[in-house]
Amino acid sequence: MPELPEVESIKRTLEKKILGKKITGVKIFWSPAVVSLPGKDFAGLVKDRVIEGLGRRGKYLLIYLSGGLTMIIHFRMTGRLIYYPENCSADKHTHAVFSLDKGEMHYSDIRKFGRIQIVPAHDAAGLPSLAKLGPEPLDEEFTLDRLRNLLMGKKTQVKGALLDQKVIAGLGNIYVDEALFRAGILPDRQTSSLQPSEIKRLFKGIVEVLQEGIEARGTSFRDYRDADGNKGLFQETLRVYGRGGLECKNCGQILTRQKIAGRTTVFCRKCQK
């Protein structure tokens, strides 16, 4: 499931392939995957525009087109955006193919939760889904003080707070569990009960786990691929996610798997307090 490190990896790999290229045509195979401007045909709107830049906000990938349009993509669970240097056939999960003046870009999504929305560039930041997002955890604006303020203002379990995109943008189930393990904090702790030393460890845990995730080019637990179709490597480094019932890599205790804040959560009862 593409979280911040995966979307960042897609952005970086895609950038090298599509920047400056022109979209010469678009084929839509499953129309709910694309959201156009009211009353406008998506393919017609996008055709003949040049890809001028790529960006990321939280788990959203932004593709800036000439003529003041932005494509906003959310991959949800199984979305993929892959560049092929040669034309190739679409498979059963391909929902859109963007022909470029060299090669083509395939958008596919097994579970059909992802969306590609097109908006005028000047409206993008005001789009509710983007406007509500919390700080970027790898930007300078995200500081220990900022995290403390974000958490102290809530009365909820820390796991739920970290998953909330309005609190911090870009964390999902994998990186939240990993950050909490590194910080030694139980996921069901109330945010208001966290001590300053714990918030400090959590801050470090979040930043490190995301940076290492990006360095490993993302986590391919199951479906994730970058824009070249390659897997990431961070699944090798995961300490808790997907390891319920296995031994803790730190202390040997059997890891607990439990629903917390509505999500499957894995943690160590000995290492996390």
Partner DNA sequence: AGTGGCTCCTGAGCGC
Partner DNA sequence: TGCGCTCAGGAGCCAC
CA distances from residue 7 to 14, 71, 98, 222, 249 in whole angstroms, order as listed = 10, 14, 19, 15, 27
Which amino acids are annotated catalytic? 2-3, 59, 263
Q: Which is nearer to DNA, 24 or 129 (CB)?
A: 129
Helical packing angle, 4-18 and 196-215, nearest 10° = 30
Torsion, Cα 20 26 31 32, to 10 degrees, reads 0
Q: Which is nearer to DNA, 70 or 173 (CB)?
A: 173
Q: How far is the CB of 238 from DNA (least distance, A)?
A: 12
Q: How far is the CB of 90 from DNA (least distance, A)?
A: 14
Q: How far is the CB of 16 from DNA (least distance, A)?
A: 25
Name residue 22's amino acid. Answer: K
Q: How far is the CB of 226 from DNA (least distance, A)?
A: 18
Q: How far is the CB of 204 from DNA (least distance, A)?
A: 22
Q: Is 97 helix (H, G, I), strand (E, B) or coil?
A: strand
User: Residues near 85 by Cβ (< 8 Å), separated by ≥ 6?
Assistant: 17, 102, 103
Q: Which is nearer to DNA, 174 or 248 (CB)?
A: 174
Give the residues lining the site for DNA (CB under 7 A): 1, 3, 32, 58-59, 74, 76-77, 92-93, 110-113, 128-129, 132, 153-157, 160, 163, 165, 172-174, 259, 261-264
Q: Which is nearer to DNA, 87 or 89 (CB)?
A: 89
Tally of CB atoms within 10 A around 119:
20
Query: Hey, what are 49's tokens?
Result: 């525009």
Q: Which is nearer to DNA, 49 or 56 (CB)?
A: 56
Q: Cβ-count burial of 43 within 10 angstroms (0-12 exposed, 13-18 middle, 19+ buried)?
A: middle
> Is the distance from CB of 11 to CB of 61 less than 8 angstroms?
yes
User: Residues near 139 by Cβ (< 8 Å), separated by ≥ 6?
Assistant: none
Q: Is 175 helix (H, G, I), strand (E, B) or coil?
A: helix
